[in-house]
Amino acid sequence: MPSSLSLRAAIVSVALLLVFLIGWHIATRGTGATATMSPEYARLMGATATQGKSAMPGPLDVGAKLWEHIKSPFYDKGPNDKGLGIQLGYSIARVLLGYLLAVVFAAPLGFLIGMSPLMSKALDPFIQILKPISPLAWMPLALYTIKDSSVSAIFVIFICALWPMLINTAFGVAAVRKEWINVARTLEVGNVRRAFTVILPAAAPTILTGMRISIGIAWLVIVAAEMLVGGTGIGYFVWNEWNNLSITNVIIAILFIGLIGMILDQILARFARMVTFPE
Amino acid sequence: MPTFDNPFDPDRALTSGCSCGRHASASAHDDDLRLQLQCAAVESEEKRFEGVVASAVMRAVFPKDASRRAFLKSVGASTAVAALSQVFPLKTATEVFAQGGALEKKDLKVGFIPITCATPIIMAAPMGFYSKQGLNVEVIKTAGWAVIRDKTLNKEYDAAHMLSPMPIAITMGVGSTPVPFAVPAIENINGQAITLSVKHKDKRDPKSWKGFKFAVPFDYSMHNYLLRYYLAEHGIDPDTDVQIRAVPPPEMVANLRADNIDGFLGPDPMNQRAVYDGVGFIHMLSKEMWDGHPCCAFAASREFISAAPNSYAALLRAIIEATAFAAKAENRKQIAAAIAPANYINQPEIVLEQILTGTFADGLGNVKTDAKRLDFDPFPWESFAIWIMTQMKRWGQIKGEVDYAGIAKQVYLATDTTKLMTEAGLTPPVTTSKSFSVMGKTFDPAKPAAYLDSFAIKKAS
């Protein structure tokens, strides 16, 4: 039955999508010519004012524009107008940089906290206070002190990706079964070897869960951060198109942000499956 | 050097091969250069400068070398020179260029906000005014006034498009740490409007606006001061009778559509965009309140000016020439087309054209004409700065004793601009301060305190 279940699920998914698209199309249909205007005046007005075209783009408009973007994803027409592929590339690069920095920082620190009850207690107040701060709240401070907007964006990614990883690593390390540690102790395994051969494999699934949460947050934050600092990236693209009041392009950007976020999440999910072991 | 070639030769590449493109290899280039140096007297400096300027212009007109060659082959070099001289005053440009010293920094970054006020800063890039000065300027679209302030303070930008009160506020340390800033040129004069939601078509009398919600782009902006002035002149206290919020320009139109605000005094293209989209109408142009008021400014930190004086001068020359070009009505259509693409303002061309040419739909069914709706005059009158400070004080943004004339002289660099405008063949005014009238009331820059006292509605104590 499983194959027929996924088949049926796929059919329902497609049906839902179609219903959504048709509903969208109907809801955004224009009303036809609205007021009578002199042709000279009408020439100066937009389609919304003259033909009663909905201010919200329909699925066909979005589809046509989407195709344009997909056809030339890497064009470069100056510092403020680059293809969607380039914009996404910038965003992904920033996220990965900040994220890897966070991994480098969080993994050893998490290990330390997990293995030492003293450090765990000592660092706990800091973590509790710093963890709930919205990543974007750091932005003004980062801009002011770092004095470089792209480094500030990376710093914001770093600071928001840090906490889930740190807490999960610490939790995973602390939750390794006591029997295993005792066995290692009986066999007189050294501290370093114990960390790498006993604790790391046992805590790996929890650590990767933390990393998976982090990448999701990092991707959420980059869009907002780039909207704030401008320059390049998908967040900048959204802001730029918003300036132009082009809702079509904003919808397309949303679609891509969702797709990339999903891909990043799936990659981490795969890693997590690789290190999980059946008990 | 490629800039010293004859750029009107169709068979010459401006960039390829050796560093000058005239030789097959770098060693052949070196040999030739040695020969040239031995008889350097033959080629005059003037001739070389002419080549530099012309190359820059040609590159700006034909960013792709292939199209330049095709153009020259089809019309011939002499016709091309004549045609270009019509558009670009090659001779004047050469003279101006020759006067400048060596540029300390050629690659510059200038930030801008995508509104028509930034027209000279933006158009100078696609229309080649920067390259004419030997500069490679990247104009970078920026997300908001606070970001532009921070990026300029952080030296990510060498200079920037700012609201004309911002450099005064920054210099005085209002809303940021005090850093000495300077306004060597005003970007635009006029060019703003009060736009109201179409549902207020019948409420044209400001006295009936009590309880309205308005938007302005920034607290330290001409928009804020002009809207407050206008409301107060009609007996409405802007602090208690209405709500004024700082809202980024594109959100003004969206909020108007969503019925969140009743109107805004905002920068173009947003006024015209609200009309274009059928959600608002233009109640009045800011020009009708104060004809010739400054709006945005070209600003740089004092540090940049003293660290790279020649680059700064070249940049300013480019801006001033672009402003002079933009001031001519016959160039406006061409400018609208140049700044409309996504890389610059990113708006429908017809919207920008209406703003720049001054023939526009008002949102009430009329086509109006006002050639000076948006105008360009770079001269940073010190009296502008003084007026701005009176309004800052009037609305409680600054308190205590204010050294009006001193700060105005320090921030608005009228003297520098005079020198450069003369060099560029323009006629700058002879004084650095002038009197003007705002809504029928004359402002005397020598008596700011008396002016401030004359208002019935104000916050200042």
pLDDT digits (tens, 9 = 90+) for B264-304: 998 888 899 888 888 889 998 888 888 888 888 888 888 88
CB-side neighbour CA atoms (13 Å) of A200: 9
pLDDT averaged over every residue in chain B: 77
Nearest CA in chain B to A237: B342
A242 contacts chain B (CB < 8 A): yes
Q: Which residue in A77, A80, A241 is closest to B140 by CB distance?
A: A80
Q: Would you call B150 and A244 a contact, using CB atoms and an 8 Å cutoff?
A: no
Cβ–Cβ of A41/B273 closer than 8 Å? no
How many beta-carbon pairs under 8 angstroms link A with B?
99
Q: Mark yes or no for CB contact B343/A78 under 8 Å.
A: yes
In this prediction, residue A2 carries a pLDDT of 57
Residues 6 or more apart from A242 whose CB is under 8 A from it? A250, B250
Residues of A whose CB is below 8 A from B361: 41, 44-45
Q: Is A148 on the interface with B (CB under 8 A)?
A: yes
For residue B111, the chain A residue with the least C-alpha distance is A231
Residues of A within 8 A of B150 (CB-CB) are: 143-144
pLDDT digits (tens, 9 = 90+) for B332-388: 888 888 888 888 888 888 888 888 888 888 888 888 888 888 888 877 888 888 888
Other Cβ atoms less than 10 A from the Cβ of A234: the count is 25
Mark yes or no for CB contact B139/A79 under 8 Å: yes
Q: Minimal Cα distance from B348: which residue of A? A: A244
Cβ pair B385, B391 in contact under 8 A: no
DSSP assigned state of A195: I
Per-residue pLDDT band for B134 (boundaries 50, 70, 90) equals confident
pLDDT (0 to 100) of residue B460: 57
CB < 8 Å to A239, chain B:
143
Looking at the complex, report in whole angstroms how far the Cα of residue B386 sits from the nearest Cα belonging to chain A.
Answer: 30
Judging contacts by C-beta atoms under 8 Å, the chain B residues touching residue A34 are 278
Q: Which of B257, B275, B342 sits opposite A55 (nearest CB)?
A: B257
Is there a contact between A243 and B114 if contact means CB atoms under 8 Å apart?
Answer: yes
CA B456 – CA A159 distance, rounded (Å): 51
pLDDT of residue B28: 55
| Closest residue in B to A44 (Cα–Cα) | B361
Asked if the C-beta of A49 comes within 8 angstroms of chain B's C-beta atoms, the answer is: yes
Cβ of A229 within 8 Å of Cβ of B275? The answer is: no
Q: Tell me what pLDDT residue B36 has.
A: 42
Report pLDDT digits (tens) over B234-268.
888 888 888 888 888 878 888 888 888 998 998 88
Interface check A237 vs B, CB under 8 A: no
Residue B453, both tokens = 């006292």
Is it the case that residue B2 has pLDDT exceeding 90? no
- Distance from the Cα of A168 to chain B's closest Cα (Å) equals 35
Residue of A nearest to B355 (CA): A44
Q: Inspect the interface and report whether the beta carbons of B361 and A144 lie closer than 8 Å.
A: no
Q: Is the pLDDT of residue B112 over 80?
A: yes
B331 versus B429: which is more confidently predicted? B331
A247 at interface of B, judged by CB pairs closer than 8 A: no
- Is the C-alpha dihedral spanning A187, A193, A195, A201 positive or negative? negative
Do the Cβ atoms of A229 and B143 come within 8 Å? yes
Cα four-point dihedral sign A97, A152, B303, B181: positive
Is this prediction's pTM over 0.90? no
Condensed to tens digits (0 to 9), the pLDDT of residues B153-199 reads 888 888 888 888 888 888 888 766 788 888 878 888 888 999 998 88
Which residues in B198-303 belong to E strands, given as ranges?
213-216, 243-246, 263-267, 280-285, 296-301
- Residue pLDDT, tens place only, A37-68: 777 778 888 777 777 777 788 888 888 888 88
**Backbone angle region of A117, left / alpha / beta, with phi > 0 → left and psi within -120 to 50 → alpha:** alpha
In chain B, which residues have their Cβ closer than 8 Å to the Cβ of A240? 114, 141, 342, 346
Residue of chain A whose Cα is closest to the Cα of B113: A243
Inspect the interface and report whether the beta carbons of B361 and A41 lie closer than 8 Å.
yes
Q: Do B366 and A48 touch (CB under 8 A)?
A: no
Residue A55 to residue B154, Cβ atoms within 8 A: no
A49:B147 CB<8 A: no
Residues on chain B touching A43 (C-beta within 8 angstroms): 350
For the cut 80, the answer to whether the pLDDT of residue A269 exceeds it is: yes
How would you list the strands of the sheet with B213-216, edge to edge? B243-246, B213-216, B263-267, B192-197, B280-285
Going by C-beta distance under 8 Å and a sequence separation of 6 or more, which residues neighbour residue B260? B213
Q: Which residues are within 8 A (CB) of A124 and not within 5 positions of it... i.e. 6 or more apart?
A: none
The reply to whether residue B277 touches residue A79, judged by beta carbons under 8 angstroms, is: no
Which of A56, A242, A245, A250 is the best mutation test for B, with the most CBs of B within 10 A? A245
Residues of chain B with pLDDT > 90, as a percent, come to 1
| Cβ-Cβ contacts under 8 Å, B276 against chain A | 44-46, 49
Q: Give the closest residue to A232 by CA, choosing from A72, A83, A62.
A: A83
Give the Cα separation of A167 and B305 in Å (integer): 50
pLDDT digits (tens, 9 = 90+) for A25-41: 888 887 666 667 777 77
Rounded to the nearest 10 degrees, the angle between the axes of helix B382-394 and helix B165-172 is 70
Residue B48, pLDDT score:
46
A244 contacts in chain B (CB < 8 Å): 250, 342, 346-347
| Cross-chain Cβ contact B156/A40 below 8 Å | no
Q: Examine the pLDDT at B25 and tell me if it is beyond 70.
A: no
The average pLDDT across B9-17 equals: 51
Global ipTM: 0.76
Instruction: Check if A36 contacts B (Cβ < 8 Å).
Output: no
> Do B367 and A41 lie within an 8 Å CB cutoff?
yes
